[in-house]
Structure 1
Protein backbone atom coordinates (compact mmCIF):
# COMPACT_ATOMS: atom_id res chain seq x y z
CA UNK A 1 0.00 0.00 0.00
CA UNK A 2 1.29 3.46 -0.83
CA UNK A 3 2.55 5.46 2.11
CA UNK A 4 0.07 7.91 3.58
CA UNK A 5 0.85 11.02 5.62
CA UNK A 6 -0.78 10.40 9.01
CA UNK A 7 1.03 12.76 11.34
CA UNK A 8 3.32 10.75 13.59
CA UNK A 9 1.57 7.45 12.92
CA UNK A 10 2.94 4.74 10.64
CA UNK A 11 1.58 2.84 7.69
CA UNK A 12 0.32 -0.73 7.38
CA UNK A 13 3.31 -3.04 6.96
CA UNK A 14 3.76 -6.42 5.29
CA UNK A 15 2.82 -9.37 7.48
CA UNK A 16 5.86 -11.47 8.47
CA UNK A 17 6.06 -15.06 7.23
CA UNK A 18 3.71 -14.25 4.36
CA UNK A 19 2.86 -17.04 1.91
CA UNK A 20 0.50 -16.00 -0.90
CA UNK A 21 -0.27 -19.56 -2.03
CA UNK A 22 -1.13 -20.69 1.50
CA UNK A 23 -3.40 -17.69 2.06
CA UNK A 24 -5.09 -18.15 -1.31
CA UNK A 25 -5.84 -21.79 -0.50
CA UNK A 26 -7.18 -20.87 2.94
CA UNK A 27 -9.50 -18.31 1.36
CA UNK A 28 -10.63 -20.82 -1.27
CA UNK A 29 -11.55 -23.29 1.48
CA UNK A 30 -13.28 -20.55 3.48
CA UNK A 31 -15.73 -19.78 0.66
CA UNK A 32 -16.08 -23.28 -0.78
CA UNK A 33 -19.24 -25.31 -0.23
CA UNK A 34 -22.16 -24.44 2.02
CA UNK A 35 -21.56 -21.55 4.38
CA UNK A 36 -18.64 -19.15 4.58
CA UNK A 37 -15.83 -19.03 7.13
CA UNK A 38 -15.98 -15.27 7.63
CA UNK A 39 -13.41 -15.32 10.44
CA UNK A 40 -10.74 -16.81 8.17
CA UNK A 41 -11.49 -14.26 5.46
CA UNK A 42 -11.34 -11.40 7.92
CA UNK A 43 -8.18 -12.64 9.64
CA UNK A 44 -6.29 -13.03 6.37
CA UNK A 45 -7.44 -10.00 4.42
CA UNK A 46 -7.17 -7.57 7.34
CA UNK A 47 -3.80 -8.95 8.40
CA UNK A 48 -2.01 -8.36 5.10
CA UNK A 49 -0.75 -5.23 3.38
CA UNK A 50 -2.32 -4.18 0.09
CA UNK A 51 0.68 -5.47 -1.87
CA UNK A 52 0.30 -8.86 -0.18
CA UNK A 53 -3.44 -8.95 -0.86
CA UNK A 54 -2.77 -8.38 -4.55
CA UNK A 55 -0.38 -11.36 -4.57
CA UNK A 56 -3.01 -13.49 -2.82
CA UNK A 57 -5.56 -12.52 -5.48
CA UNK A 58 -3.11 -13.50 -8.21
CA UNK A 59 -2.46 -16.90 -6.60
CA UNK A 60 -6.19 -17.44 -6.09
CA UNK A 61 -6.93 -16.87 -9.76
CA UNK A 62 -4.17 -19.28 -10.76
CA UNK A 63 -5.47 -22.00 -8.42
CA UNK A 64 -9.24 -21.51 -8.72
CA UNK A 65 -9.52 -20.24 -12.28
CA UNK A 66 -11.62 -17.23 -11.27
CA UNK A 67 -11.15 -13.84 -9.68
CA UNK A 68 -11.14 -13.82 -5.90
CA UNK A 69 -13.20 -10.63 -6.05
CA UNK A 70 -16.00 -12.45 -7.89
CA UNK A 71 -15.85 -15.35 -5.44
CA UNK A 72 -16.18 -12.98 -2.49
CA UNK A 73 -19.14 -11.23 -4.11
CA UNK A 74 -20.87 -14.57 -4.57
CA UNK A 75 -20.45 -15.70 -0.96
CA UNK A 76 -20.83 -12.50 1.06
CA UNK A 77 -23.35 -9.69 1.31
CA UNK A 78 -23.86 -6.25 2.79
CA UNK A 79 -21.06 -4.14 4.22
CA UNK A 80 -18.88 -7.18 4.88
CA UNK A 81 -18.96 -8.02 1.17
CA UNK A 82 -18.12 -4.44 0.22
CA UNK A 83 -15.19 -4.32 2.64
CA UNK A 84 -13.73 -7.67 1.59
CA UNK A 85 -14.05 -6.80 -2.11
CA UNK A 86 -12.56 -3.37 -1.50
CA UNK A 87 -9.60 -4.93 0.31
CA UNK A 88 -8.58 -6.88 -2.79
CA UNK A 89 -9.08 -3.83 -5.02
CA UNK A 90 -5.95 -1.70 -5.61
CA UNK A 91 -6.36 1.55 -3.60
CA UNK A 92 -6.06 3.79 -6.67
CA UNK A 93 -8.76 1.83 -8.50
CA UNK A 94 -10.98 1.90 -5.41
CA UNK A 95 -10.65 5.68 -5.14
CA UNK A 96 -11.23 6.11 -8.88
CA UNK A 97 -14.48 4.16 -8.67
CA UNK A 98 -15.67 6.14 -5.64
CA UNK A 99 -14.94 9.40 -7.45
CA UNK A 100 -16.87 8.21 -10.49
CA UNK A 101 -19.85 7.25 -8.32
CA UNK A 102 -19.79 10.66 -6.66
CA UNK A 103 -20.16 12.36 -10.06
CA UNK A 104 -22.51 9.86 -11.71
CA UNK A 105 -26.06 10.79 -12.67
CA UNK A 106 -27.89 13.88 -11.51
CA UNK A 107 -26.25 15.78 -8.70
CA UNK A 108 -22.78 15.44 -7.26
CA UNK A 109 -21.69 13.96 -3.93
CA UNK A 110 -19.42 16.83 -2.94
CA UNK A 111 -18.54 15.26 0.41
CA UNK A 112 -17.18 12.13 -1.27
CA UNK A 113 -15.02 14.28 -3.55
CA UNK A 114 -13.77 16.23 -0.56
CA UNK A 115 -13.00 13.13 1.50
CA UNK A 116 -10.74 11.65 -1.17
CA UNK A 117 -9.12 14.72 -2.71
CA UNK A 118 -8.37 16.48 0.58
CA UNK A 119 -6.66 13.49 2.20
CA UNK A 120 -4.57 11.83 -0.51
CA UNK A 121 -0.92 12.56 -1.26
CA UNK A 122 0.16 13.95 -4.62
CA UNK A 123 1.63 10.58 -5.58
CA UNK A 124 -1.61 8.84 -4.70
CA UNK A 125 -3.68 11.33 -6.70
CA UNK A 126 -1.53 10.79 -9.78
CA UNK A 127 -2.13 7.04 -9.40
CA UNK A 128 -5.86 7.64 -8.95
CA UNK A 129 -6.00 9.83 -12.07
CA UNK A 130 -4.24 7.12 -14.08
CA UNK A 131 -6.57 4.44 -12.72
CA UNK A 132 -9.58 6.64 -13.51
CA UNK A 133 -8.52 6.99 -17.12
CA UNK A 134 -7.70 3.27 -17.42
CA UNK A 135 -11.12 2.22 -16.11
CA UNK A 136 -13.35 4.89 -17.67
CA UNK A 137 -11.30 6.18 -20.63
CA UNK A 138 -12.00 9.69 -19.41
CA UNK A 139 -9.95 12.31 -17.62
CA UNK A 140 -10.65 12.76 -13.92
CA UNK A 141 -10.03 16.47 -14.34
CA UNK A 142 -12.56 16.73 -17.18
CA UNK A 143 -15.26 15.03 -15.12
CA UNK A 144 -14.54 17.26 -12.12
CA UNK A 145 -14.73 20.31 -14.38
CA UNK A 146 -18.10 19.30 -15.79
CA UNK A 147 -19.64 18.42 -12.41
CA UNK A 148 -18.41 21.27 -10.19
CA UNK A 149 -17.94 25.01 -10.50
CA UNK A 150 -16.24 28.11 -9.17
CA UNK A 151 -13.54 28.13 -6.53
CA UNK A 152 -14.56 24.64 -5.40
CA UNK A 153 -13.82 23.30 -8.87
CA UNK A 154 -10.48 25.11 -9.08
CA UNK A 155 -9.34 23.74 -5.72
CA UNK A 156 -10.43 20.20 -6.61
CA UNK A 157 -8.60 20.35 -9.94
CA UNK A 158 -5.42 21.51 -8.21
CA UNK A 159 -5.62 18.60 -5.78
CA UNK A 160 -6.54 16.12 -8.53
CA UNK A 161 -3.44 17.15 -10.48
CA UNK A 162 -1.29 16.12 -7.53
CA UNK A 163 0.39 19.50 -7.27
CA UNK A 164 1.00 19.51 -3.52
CA UNK A 165 4.75 19.64 -2.79
CA UNK A 166 5.14 16.58 -0.56
CA UNK A 167 8.92 17.06 -0.37
CA UNK A 168 8.65 20.55 1.08
CA UNK A 169 10.31 20.75 4.48
CA UNK A 170 8.78 22.97 7.18
CA UNK A 171 10.25 26.46 6.89
CA UNK A 172 9.36 29.11 9.46
CA UNK A 173 9.94 32.03 7.11
CA UNK A 174 7.74 30.48 4.42
CA UNK A 175 5.10 29.81 7.06
CA UNK A 176 5.12 33.45 8.15
CA UNK A 177 4.85 34.61 4.53
CA UNK A 178 1.99 32.21 3.74
CA UNK A 179 0.17 33.08 6.95
CA UNK A 180 0.34 36.75 6.02
CA UNK A 181 -0.94 35.93 2.52
CA UNK A 182 -3.93 34.13 4.02
CA UNK A 183 -4.58 36.96 6.47
CA UNK A 184 -4.39 39.59 3.73
CA UNK A 185 -6.68 37.50 1.51
CA UNK A 186 -9.41 37.24 4.12
CA UNK A 187 -9.57 38.88 7.51
CA UNK A 188 -7.64 42.01 6.53
CA UNK A 189 -9.69 42.97 3.48
CA UNK A 190 -13.25 43.59 2.35
CA UNK A 191 -14.24 40.46 0.49
CA UNK A 192 -12.11 37.35 0.09
CA UNK A 193 -9.37 36.43 -2.37
CA UNK A 194 -10.23 32.73 -2.65
CA UNK A 195 -7.36 32.13 -5.06
CA UNK A 196 -4.82 32.84 -2.33
CA UNK A 197 -6.42 30.23 -0.08
CA UNK A 198 -6.12 27.69 -2.90
CA UNK A 199 -2.53 28.74 -3.57
CA UNK A 200 -1.44 28.07 0.00
CA UNK A 201 -3.68 25.20 1.12
CA UNK A 202 -3.55 23.11 -2.08
CA UNK A 203 0.16 23.41 -2.85
CA UNK A 204 2.05 23.32 0.47
CA UNK A 205 3.01 20.08 2.22
CA UNK A 206 1.03 19.11 5.30
CA UNK A 207 4.01 19.63 7.66
CA UNK A 208 4.49 23.09 6.15
CA UNK A 209 0.80 23.87 6.53
CA UNK A 210 0.84 22.94 10.22
CA UNK A 211 3.56 25.52 10.76
CA UNK A 212 1.60 28.05 8.70
CA UNK A 213 -1.47 27.50 10.88
CA UNK A 214 0.59 28.35 13.97
CA UNK A 215 1.92 31.53 12.37
CA UNK A 216 -1.57 32.49 11.22
CA UNK A 217 -2.81 32.35 14.79
CA UNK A 218 0.10 34.54 15.89
CA UNK A 219 -0.75 37.12 13.22
CA UNK A 220 -4.55 37.12 13.42
CA UNK A 221 -5.23 35.98 16.97
CA UNK A 222 -7.58 33.28 15.72
CA UNK A 223 -7.48 29.82 14.18
CA UNK A 224 -7.46 29.54 10.39
CA UNK A 225 -10.56 27.32 10.58
CA UNK A 226 -12.49 30.22 12.12
CA UNK A 227 -11.39 32.55 9.34
CA UNK A 228 -12.32 30.01 6.66
CA UNK A 229 -15.80 29.69 8.17
CA UNK A 230 -16.31 33.45 8.21
CA UNK A 231 -14.72 34.18 4.82
CA UNK A 232 -15.96 31.28 2.63
CA UNK A 233 -19.09 29.17 2.24
CA UNK A 234 -20.61 26.02 0.78
CA UNK A 235 -18.55 23.16 -0.62
CA UNK A 236 -15.49 25.37 -1.01
CA UNK A 237 -15.56 26.07 2.72
CA UNK A 238 -16.01 22.36 3.46
CA UNK A 239 -13.02 21.47 1.28
CA UNK A 240 -10.70 24.03 2.87
CA UNK A 241 -11.71 22.90 6.36
CA UNK A 242 -11.07 19.28 5.37
CA UNK A 243 -7.59 20.18 4.13
CA UNK A 244 -6.81 21.92 7.42
CA UNK A 245 -8.03 18.90 9.39
CA UNK A 246 -6.02 16.47 7.26
CA UNK A 247 -2.88 18.57 7.58
CA UNK A 248 -3.27 18.62 11.36
CA UNK A 249 -4.23 14.96 11.80
CA UNK A 250 -5.48 12.76 8.96
CA UNK A 251 -6.60 9.84 11.19
CA UNK A 252 -8.66 12.27 13.29
CA UNK A 253 -10.27 13.59 10.10
CA UNK A 254 -11.49 10.11 9.17
CA UNK A 255 -12.46 9.33 12.76
CA UNK A 256 -14.67 12.41 12.87
CA UNK A 257 -16.39 11.43 9.63
CA UNK A 258 -16.93 7.88 10.88
CA UNK A 259 -18.37 9.20 14.13
CA UNK A 260 -20.85 11.36 12.23
CA UNK A 261 -21.85 8.49 9.96
CA UNK A 262 -22.56 6.25 12.96
CA UNK A 263 -25.29 8.64 14.03
CA UNK A 264 -27.24 7.79 10.87
CA UNK A 265 -28.97 4.40 10.65
CA UNK A 266 -28.04 3.49 7.13
CA UNK A 267 -26.31 0.78 5.11
CA UNK A 268 -25.57 3.01 2.13
CA UNK A 269 -22.25 3.43 0.36
CA UNK A 270 -21.46 6.70 2.15
CA UNK A 271 -21.26 4.92 5.51
CA UNK A 272 -19.16 2.13 4.06
CA UNK A 273 -16.74 4.50 2.32
CA UNK A 274 -16.17 6.47 5.51
CA UNK A 275 -15.61 3.29 7.51
CA UNK A 276 -13.30 1.71 4.99
CA UNK A 277 -11.32 4.86 4.23
CA UNK A 278 -10.77 5.33 7.95
CA UNK A 279 -9.12 1.92 8.01
CA UNK A 280 -7.15 2.30 4.80
CA UNK A 281 -5.63 5.60 5.82
CA UNK A 282 -4.69 4.92 9.41
CA UNK A 283 -2.45 2.36 10.99
CA UNK A 284 -4.37 -0.71 12.15
CA UNK A 285 -3.18 -0.13 15.71
CA UNK A 286 -4.26 3.51 15.57
CA UNK A 287 -7.79 4.77 16.08
CA UNK A 288 -9.62 1.75 14.67
CA UNK A 289 -8.45 -1.55 13.24
CA UNK A 290 -10.32 -3.03 10.31
CA UNK A 291 -11.70 -5.87 12.43
CA UNK A 292 -13.25 -3.29 14.72
CA UNK A 293 -14.60 -1.36 11.74
CA UNK A 294 -16.12 -4.55 10.29
CA UNK A 295 -17.78 -5.15 13.66
CA UNK A 296 -19.27 -1.67 13.57
CA UNK A 297 -20.54 -2.24 10.03
CA UNK A 298 -22.09 -5.60 10.93
CA UNK A 299 -23.80 -4.15 14.00
CA UNK A 300 -25.13 -1.28 11.93
CA UNK A 301 -26.69 -3.68 9.46
CA UNK A 302 -28.73 -5.15 12.30
CA UNK A 303 -30.09 -1.81 13.51
Structure 2
Protein backbone atom coordinates (compact mmCIF):
# COMPACT_ATOMS: atom_id res chain seq x y z
CA UNK A 1 0.00 0.00 0.00
CA UNK A 2 1.64 3.21 -1.15
CA UNK A 3 2.03 5.92 1.42
CA UNK A 4 0.23 9.16 0.79
CA UNK A 5 2.46 11.73 -0.83
CA UNK A 6 4.46 9.27 -2.93
CA UNK A 7 5.46 10.78 -6.23
CA UNK A 8 7.35 9.87 -9.34
CA UNK A 9 10.18 11.61 -11.13
CA UNK A 10 8.21 11.43 -14.38
CA UNK A 11 5.31 13.88 -14.50
CA UNK A 12 3.09 15.27 -17.23
CA UNK A 13 4.99 17.33 -19.80
CA UNK A 14 3.68 20.89 -20.14
CA UNK A 15 2.47 21.93 -23.58
CA UNK A 16 2.29 18.31 -24.63
CA UNK A 17 1.66 17.76 -28.35
CA UNK A 18 1.64 14.07 -29.39
CA UNK A 19 1.81 14.95 -33.11
CA UNK A 20 4.98 16.99 -32.59
CA UNK A 21 6.55 14.25 -30.47
CA UNK A 22 5.60 11.64 -33.07
CA UNK A 23 7.20 13.69 -35.83
CA UNK A 24 10.41 14.16 -33.85
CA UNK A 25 10.63 10.44 -33.08
CA UNK A 26 10.13 9.62 -36.74
CA UNK A 27 12.93 11.99 -37.69
CA UNK A 28 15.17 10.50 -34.99
CA UNK A 29 14.89 7.13 -36.72
CA UNK A 30 15.36 8.33 -40.30
CA UNK A 31 18.47 7.57 -42.33
CA UNK A 32 21.64 5.96 -41.05
CA UNK A 33 21.88 5.70 -37.30
CA UNK A 34 19.39 6.67 -34.64
CA UNK A 35 19.25 9.87 -32.61
CA UNK A 36 19.05 8.29 -29.16
CA UNK A 37 19.18 11.66 -27.41
CA UNK A 38 15.85 12.67 -28.97
CA UNK A 39 14.24 9.38 -27.99
CA UNK A 40 15.43 9.87 -24.41
CA UNK A 41 14.38 13.52 -24.34
CA UNK A 42 10.83 12.64 -25.36
CA UNK A 43 9.99 9.26 -23.86
CA UNK A 44 11.75 9.72 -20.51
CA UNK A 45 9.86 12.97 -19.90
CA UNK A 46 6.32 11.92 -20.78
CA UNK A 47 3.85 10.03 -18.60
CA UNK A 48 2.56 6.59 -19.54
CA UNK A 49 -0.72 8.17 -20.68
CA UNK A 50 1.13 10.71 -22.83
CA UNK A 51 3.24 7.95 -24.39
CA UNK A 52 0.04 6.14 -25.40
CA UNK A 53 -1.08 9.31 -27.19
CA UNK A 54 2.29 9.48 -28.96
CA UNK A 55 1.89 5.86 -30.08
CA UNK A 56 -1.55 6.65 -31.50
CA UNK A 57 -0.30 9.78 -33.26
CA UNK A 58 2.63 7.87 -34.74
CA UNK A 59 0.36 5.17 -36.13
CA UNK A 60 -2.00 7.77 -37.62
CA UNK A 61 0.76 9.71 -39.33
CA UNK A 62 3.09 6.87 -40.36
CA UNK A 63 0.85 3.83 -40.59
CA UNK A 64 3.23 1.78 -38.45
CA UNK A 65 3.45 0.84 -34.78
CA UNK A 66 5.97 2.93 -32.86
CA UNK A 67 7.21 -0.02 -30.75
CA UNK A 68 7.91 -2.03 -33.92
CA UNK A 69 9.85 0.84 -35.46
CA UNK A 70 11.90 1.37 -32.31
CA UNK A 71 12.53 -2.37 -32.02
CA UNK A 72 14.06 -2.36 -35.51
CA UNK A 73 16.31 0.58 -34.64
CA UNK A 74 17.49 -0.20 -31.11
CA UNK A 75 19.31 -3.03 -29.36
CA UNK A 76 20.22 -4.30 -25.92
CA UNK A 77 19.17 -2.64 -22.70
CA UNK A 78 18.32 0.62 -24.43
CA UNK A 79 15.71 -1.21 -26.48
CA UNK A 80 14.33 -2.96 -23.38
CA UNK A 81 13.94 0.31 -21.50
CA UNK A 82 12.31 2.17 -24.39
CA UNK A 83 9.85 -0.63 -25.18
CA UNK A 84 9.00 -0.91 -21.48
CA UNK A 85 8.25 2.80 -21.34
CA UNK A 86 5.70 2.45 -24.13
CA UNK A 87 3.63 -0.16 -22.29
CA UNK A 88 0.80 0.72 -19.90
CA UNK A 89 1.72 -0.37 -16.37
CA UNK A 90 -0.36 -3.59 -16.19
CA UNK A 91 0.80 -4.62 -19.67
CA UNK A 92 4.41 -4.14 -18.59
CA UNK A 93 3.86 -6.18 -15.42
CA UNK A 94 2.22 -8.95 -17.47
CA UNK A 95 5.10 -8.84 -19.96
CA UNK A 96 7.69 -9.16 -17.19
CA UNK A 97 5.80 -12.03 -15.55
CA UNK A 98 5.48 -13.86 -18.87
CA UNK A 99 9.21 -13.54 -19.48
CA UNK A 100 9.87 -14.77 -15.93
CA UNK A 101 7.86 -17.94 -16.58
CA UNK A 102 8.33 -18.92 -20.23
CA UNK A 103 11.24 -20.96 -21.50
CA UNK A 104 13.72 -22.95 -19.46
CA UNK A 105 13.89 -22.01 -15.81
CA UNK A 106 11.87 -19.50 -13.83
CA UNK A 107 12.84 -16.02 -12.63
CA UNK A 108 11.37 -16.41 -9.16
CA UNK A 109 12.77 -13.05 -8.05
CA UNK A 110 10.67 -11.28 -10.69
CA UNK A 111 7.50 -13.11 -9.61
CA UNK A 112 8.21 -12.19 -5.98
CA UNK A 113 9.01 -8.53 -6.68
CA UNK A 114 5.87 -7.86 -8.69
CA UNK A 115 3.30 -9.90 -6.76
CA UNK A 116 4.54 -8.86 -3.30
CA UNK A 117 4.53 -5.15 -4.11
CA UNK A 118 1.41 -4.47 -6.18
CA UNK A 119 -1.97 -3.34 -4.87
CA UNK A 120 -5.12 -5.40 -5.32
CA UNK A 121 -6.21 -3.25 -8.26
CA UNK A 122 -2.78 -3.56 -9.88
CA UNK A 123 -2.82 -7.35 -9.52
CA UNK A 124 -6.32 -7.63 -10.98
CA UNK A 125 -5.27 -5.43 -13.91
CA UNK A 126 -2.09 -7.36 -14.66
CA UNK A 127 -3.97 -10.68 -14.52
CA UNK A 128 -6.45 -9.37 -17.07
CA UNK A 129 -3.66 -8.08 -19.30
CA UNK A 130 -1.82 -11.38 -19.05
CA UNK A 131 -4.91 -13.21 -20.31
CA UNK A 132 -5.51 -10.66 -23.07
CA UNK A 133 -1.91 -10.44 -24.28
CA UNK A 134 -0.96 -14.12 -24.08
CA UNK A 135 -4.29 -15.99 -24.01
CA UNK A 136 -3.06 -17.80 -20.92
CA UNK A 137 -4.11 -17.90 -17.28
CA UNK A 138 -1.42 -16.43 -15.00
CA UNK A 139 -2.31 -18.60 -12.02
CA UNK A 140 -2.10 -21.77 -14.12
CA UNK A 141 1.26 -20.70 -15.53
CA UNK A 142 2.67 -19.92 -12.09
CA UNK A 143 1.40 -23.23 -10.69
CA UNK A 144 3.02 -24.99 -13.62
CA UNK A 145 6.39 -23.37 -12.90
CA UNK A 146 6.51 -23.27 -9.09
CA UNK A 147 5.60 -25.71 -6.35
CA UNK A 148 4.92 -26.24 -2.67
CA UNK A 149 4.29 -23.46 -0.20
CA UNK A 150 6.06 -20.93 -2.43
CA UNK A 151 3.46 -21.57 -5.12
CA UNK A 152 0.65 -21.28 -2.56
CA UNK A 153 1.89 -17.89 -1.36
CA UNK A 154 2.04 -16.59 -4.96
CA UNK A 155 -1.47 -17.90 -5.64
CA UNK A 156 -2.73 -16.19 -2.48
CA UNK A 157 -1.19 -12.89 -3.62
CA UNK A 158 -2.71 -13.39 -7.08
CA UNK A 159 -6.22 -13.48 -5.62
CA UNK A 160 -5.83 -9.76 -4.84
CA UNK A 161 -7.67 -10.41 -1.60
CA UNK A 162 -5.59 -8.39 0.84
CA UNK A 163 -7.56 -6.19 3.23
CA UNK A 164 -6.64 -2.66 2.11
CA UNK A 165 -8.39 -0.79 4.90
CA UNK A 166 -6.40 1.05 7.57
CA UNK A 167 -8.14 -0.57 10.54
CA UNK A 168 -6.04 -2.12 13.27
CA UNK A 169 -7.66 -4.74 15.50
CA UNK A 170 -5.43 -4.63 18.57
CA UNK A 171 -6.69 -7.90 20.01
CA UNK A 172 -6.34 -9.67 16.65
CA UNK A 173 -2.85 -8.24 16.18
CA UNK A 174 -1.70 -9.76 19.48
CA UNK A 175 -3.35 -13.06 18.53
CA UNK A 176 -1.74 -13.04 15.07
CA UNK A 177 1.68 -12.37 16.58
CA UNK A 178 1.20 -15.16 19.13
CA UNK A 179 0.11 -17.60 16.42
CA UNK A 180 3.07 -16.69 14.20
CA UNK A 181 5.42 -17.29 17.12
CA UNK A 182 3.78 -20.62 17.90
CA UNK A 183 3.88 -21.58 14.22
CA UNK A 184 7.61 -20.98 14.01
CA UNK A 185 10.03 -20.19 16.79
CA UNK A 186 8.07 -21.98 19.52
CA UNK A 187 7.79 -25.36 17.80
CA UNK A 188 9.81 -28.04 16.08
CA UNK A 189 9.21 -27.48 12.39
CA UNK A 190 7.19 -24.62 10.96
CA UNK A 191 3.48 -24.18 10.27
CA UNK A 192 4.00 -22.29 7.03
CA UNK A 193 0.29 -21.91 6.32
CA UNK A 194 -0.11 -19.60 9.33
CA UNK A 195 2.52 -17.24 7.90
CA UNK A 196 0.65 -17.23 4.58
CA UNK A 197 -2.70 -16.56 6.23
CA UNK A 198 -1.46 -13.56 8.19
CA UNK A 199 1.08 -12.01 5.79
CA UNK A 200 -0.97 -12.35 2.59
CA UNK A 201 -4.34 -11.26 3.95
CA UNK A 202 -4.03 -8.60 6.67
CA UNK A 203 -3.82 -4.87 5.89
CA UNK A 204 -0.59 -2.91 6.19
CA UNK A 205 -1.39 -0.98 9.38
CA UNK A 206 -2.53 -4.16 11.08
CA UNK A 207 0.62 -6.02 10.03
CA UNK A 208 2.86 -3.26 11.36
CA UNK A 209 1.17 -3.74 14.73
CA UNK A 210 1.57 -7.52 14.42
CA UNK A 211 5.30 -7.04 13.81
CA UNK A 212 5.56 -4.91 16.97
CA UNK A 213 3.67 -7.48 19.03
CA UNK A 214 5.79 -10.26 17.56
CA UNK A 215 8.98 -8.56 18.73
CA UNK A 216 7.55 -8.25 22.24
CA UNK A 217 6.62 -11.94 22.36
CA UNK A 218 9.67 -13.46 20.67
CA UNK A 219 12.41 -10.90 21.26
CA UNK A 220 13.13 -10.99 17.51
CA UNK A 221 12.20 -9.03 14.43
CA UNK A 222 9.77 -10.99 12.25
CA UNK A 223 12.34 -10.90 9.42
CA UNK A 224 14.92 -12.65 11.60
CA UNK A 225 12.45 -15.38 12.45
CA UNK A 226 11.51 -15.90 8.79
CA UNK A 227 15.21 -16.27 7.95
CA UNK A 228 15.59 -18.84 10.75
CA UNK A 229 12.46 -20.80 9.91
CA UNK A 230 12.27 -20.67 6.10
CA UNK A 231 14.61 -21.14 3.18
CA UNK A 232 14.79 -20.63 -0.56
CA UNK A 233 12.01 -18.93 -2.48
CA UNK A 234 9.51 -19.22 0.38
CA UNK A 235 11.85 -17.24 2.61
CA UNK A 236 12.38 -14.70 -0.17
CA UNK A 237 8.69 -14.09 -0.85
CA UNK A 238 7.72 -13.78 2.84
CA UNK A 239 10.60 -11.36 3.45
CA UNK A 240 9.51 -9.33 0.42
CA UNK A 241 5.96 -9.09 1.77
CA UNK A 242 7.20 -7.97 5.20
CA UNK A 243 9.56 -5.39 3.71
CA UNK A 244 6.86 -4.00 1.42
CA UNK A 245 4.56 -3.64 4.41
CA UNK A 246 7.26 -1.85 6.41
CA UNK A 247 8.35 0.42 3.54
CA UNK A 248 7.63 -0.19 -0.12
CA UNK A 249 10.09 2.51 -1.13
CA UNK A 250 12.72 0.89 1.08
CA UNK A 251 12.01 -2.46 -0.58
CA UNK A 252 12.64 -1.00 -4.03
CA UNK A 253 15.70 0.95 -2.88
CA UNK A 254 17.19 -2.31 -1.64
CA UNK A 255 16.29 -4.06 -4.92
CA UNK A 256 18.12 -1.35 -6.86
CA UNK A 257 21.15 -1.45 -4.59
CA UNK A 258 21.48 -5.23 -4.75
CA UNK A 259 21.07 -5.18 -8.53
CA UNK A 260 24.19 -3.03 -8.82
CA UNK A 261 26.49 -3.92 -5.93
CA UNK A 262 29.45 -6.22 -6.44
CA UNK A 263 30.66 -7.40 -9.83
CA UNK A 264 28.32 -6.68 -12.71
CA UNK A 265 24.78 -5.37 -12.73
CA UNK A 266 21.53 -7.31 -12.86
CA UNK A 267 20.12 -5.14 -15.62
CA UNK A 268 16.72 -6.86 -15.71
CA UNK A 269 15.98 -5.82 -12.12
CA UNK A 270 17.35 -2.33 -12.60
CA UNK A 271 15.30 -1.76 -15.75
CA UNK A 272 12.09 -3.20 -14.31
CA UNK A 273 12.19 -1.16 -11.10
CA UNK A 274 13.09 2.07 -12.86
CA UNK A 275 10.44 1.68 -15.56
CA UNK A 276 7.66 0.48 -13.26
CA UNK A 277 8.20 2.99 -10.43
CA UNK A 278 9.25 6.11 -12.38
CA UNK A 279 5.75 7.55 -12.33
CA UNK A 280 4.66 6.22 -8.93
CA UNK A 281 7.21 6.75 -6.17
CA UNK A 282 10.70 7.19 -7.63
CA UNK A 283 11.20 10.49 -5.77
CA UNK A 284 10.63 8.61 -2.51
CA UNK A 285 12.81 5.68 -3.60
CA UNK A 286 15.65 8.12 -4.35
CA UNK A 287 15.33 9.64 -0.88
CA UNK A 288 15.20 6.21 0.75
CA UNK A 289 18.23 5.05 -1.24
CA UNK A 290 20.25 8.03 -0.02
CA UNK A 291 19.17 7.41 3.58
CA UNK A 292 19.95 3.68 3.43
CA UNK A 293 23.23 3.73 1.52
CA UNK A 294 24.66 7.24 1.84
CA UNK A 295 24.87 7.65 -1.93
CA UNK A 296 22.50 9.19 -4.46
CA UNK A 297 20.78 6.69 -6.71
CA UNK A 298 21.77 8.81 -9.71
CA UNK A 299 25.49 8.60 -8.93
CA UNK A 300 25.27 4.89 -8.10
CA UNK A 301 23.66 4.09 -11.44
CA UNK A 302 26.04 6.31 -13.41
CA UNK A 303 29.08 4.57 -11.91
CA UNK A 304 27.84 0.99 -11.90
CA UNK A 305 25.59 0.59 -14.89
CA UNK A 306 25.71 1.31 -18.59
CA UNK A 307 21.91 1.28 -18.72
CA UNK A 308 19.98 4.40 -19.67
CA UNK A 309 18.37 4.50 -16.25
CA UNK A 310 19.55 7.85 -14.93
CA UNK A 311 17.12 9.56 -17.34
CA UNK A 312 14.36 9.12 -14.77
CA UNK A 313 16.18 10.65 -11.85
CA UNK A 314 16.38 14.29 -12.87
CA UNK A 315 12.81 14.95 -11.83
Q: TM-score band (shorter)?
A: 0.7 to 0.9
Question: Which of 6, 9, 12 is the equivalent residue of 1:9?
Answer: 6
Matches within 5 A, 1:117-266: 117-262=115-260, 263-265=262-264
By relative contact order (CA 8 Å, sep 6+), the higher-ranking structure is 2
Give 2:313's aligned residue.
none
> How many pairs were matched up?
298
Higher deviation after alignment, 163-172 or 122-131: 163-172
Residue 293 of structure 1, CA deviation: 8.9
Q: Deviation string for 1:177-200 (max 9, x for gaps)?
A: 322222222122222111111111
CA distance in 2, matches of 1:279, 1:129: 21
DSSP-derived class of the 1:299 partner: coil
TM-score scaled by length of structure 1: 0.87
Relative to structure 1, the CA distance from residue 232 to residue 19 in structure 2 (aligned partners, 3 Å threshold; closer, same or farther) is same
Matches within 5 A, 1:3-152: 5=2, 9-11=6-8, 13-152=11-150
Give 1:283's aligned residue.
282
Contact 2:162 2:200 in 1 (8 A): yes
Give 1:273's aligned residue.
272
Q: Deviation string for 1:205-247 (max 9, x for gaps)?
A: 2333223222221222210000101111111011000111111
Relative to structure 1, the CA distance from residue 264 to residue 255 in structure 2 (aligned partners, 3 Å threshold; closer, same or farther) is farther
Contact 1:251 1:281 in 2 (8 A): no
Higher deviation after alignment, 166-175 or 254-263: 166-175
DSSP-derived class of the 1:116 partner: helix
Give 2:292's aligned residue.
none
Relative to structure 1, the CA distance from residue 63 to residue 170 in structure 2 (aligned partners, 3 Å threshold; closer, same or farther) is farther
Contact 1:255 1:278 in 2 (8 A): no
CA distance in 2, matches of 1:150, 1:32: 52
Residue 284 of structure 1, CA deviation: 4.4
Contact 1:251 1:278 in 2 (8 A): no
Contact 2:259 2:267 in 1 (8 A): no
Cα RMSD for the two superposed structures: 2.8
CA distance in 2, matches of 1:25, 1:290: 33
CA distance in 2, matches of 1:111, 1:267: 12
Contact 1:79 1:297 in 2 (8 A): no
Relative to structure 1, the CA distance from residue 283 to residue 215 in structure 2 (aligned partners, 3 Å threshold; closer, same or farther) is same
Give unpaired runs (5+ residues) of structure 2.
Answer: 290-295, 309-315
TM-score scaled by length of structure 2: 0.84
Give unpaired runs (5+ residues) of structure 1.
Answer: none
Residue 110 of structure 1, CA deviation: 1.2
Residue 296 of structure 1, CA deviation: 6.4
Residue 274 of structure 1, CA deviation: 4.7
